[in-house]
C-alpha cells in the first residue's frame, strides 16, 4: 500500500506518461488553485475581520511581499531549472521556464500561514495556509 502511494505521488509530481487522468486532474486543480484560494481567503479576512485581525492580515501580506523579494534574490544567486526545462517530465500546465527554487507558490502560502500563526489572532487560518502549501509545493 505504501509503495503504491509513493508511486502515485511520484507520478503526480513528475507527470509521467503513465499518470492516470484522475491523478493529472487532481494535480492540476491543486497547482492552479492554491494562490487564488489564498487571495480570496485573505480578502475575506480583511473584509469580515475586526481591527486587530486586520492588522494581522496586513502584517501577513507585508511579510509575503518581503518573502517574495528574498525569494527573487535567492533566485538570482542560485538557478535551479524547473523539471520540464531539464527534460525530466512532461509539461501539463503552461509555465515560464524560470527558477524552480525557491518555490513562489509555497513561499506565498507558507509565509501567510506562519505569519498568521505567529500573530496568534488568526492562528487557525494560518495553519490552513500551511497545510494548503504542502500539496501546492
Tell me the pLDDT tens digit for each residue of 59-114: 999 999 999 898 888 878 877 766 666 666 666 665 566 665 667 788 899 999 99
CA distance 50 to 39: 18
Q: How confident is the model at residue 82, as a pLDDT?
A: 64
Reported pTM: 0.73
Q: Which three cell numbers stand for residue 105?
A: 507558490
Averaged pLDDT of the chain: 78
pLDDT > 70 fraction of the chain, expressed in percent and rounded:
70
Cell numbers placing 14? 513528475
Residue whose grid cell is 493529472: 24
| Percent of the chain's residues with pLDDT above 90 | 36
Q: Where are the domains of the chain?
A: 31-136
How distant, in Å, are the alpha carbons of 19, 39, 43, 74, 89 from that of 96?
Answer: 23, 22, 27, 18, 15
According to the model, what pLDDT value does residue 4 have? 42
Give the model's pLDDT for residue 11.
Answer: 37
Amino acid at each position: 500500500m505504501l509503495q503504491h502511494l509513493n508511486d502515485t505521488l511520484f507520478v503526480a509530481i513528475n507527470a509521467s506518461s503513465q499518470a492516470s487522468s484522475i491523478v493529472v486532474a487532481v494535480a492540476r486543480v491543486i497547482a492552479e488553485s492554491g494562490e487564488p484560494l489564498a487571495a480570496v481567503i485573505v480578502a475575506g479576512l480583511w473584509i469580515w475581520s475586526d481591527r486587530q485581525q486586520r492588522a494581522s492580515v496586513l502584517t501577513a501580506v507585508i511579510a509575503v511581499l518581503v518573502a517574495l523579494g528574498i525569494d527573487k534574490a535567492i533566485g538570482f544567486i542560485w538557478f535551479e531549472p524547473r523539471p520540464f526545462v531539464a527534460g525530466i517530465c512532461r509539461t501539463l500546465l503552461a509555465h515560464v521556464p524560470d527558477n524552480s527554487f525557491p518555490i513562489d507558490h509555497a513561499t506565498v502560502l507558507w509565509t501567510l500561514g506562519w505569519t498568521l500563526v505567529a500573530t496568534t489572532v488568526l492562528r487557525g487560518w494560518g495553519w490552513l495556509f500551511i497545510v494548503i502549501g504542502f500539496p501546492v509545493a
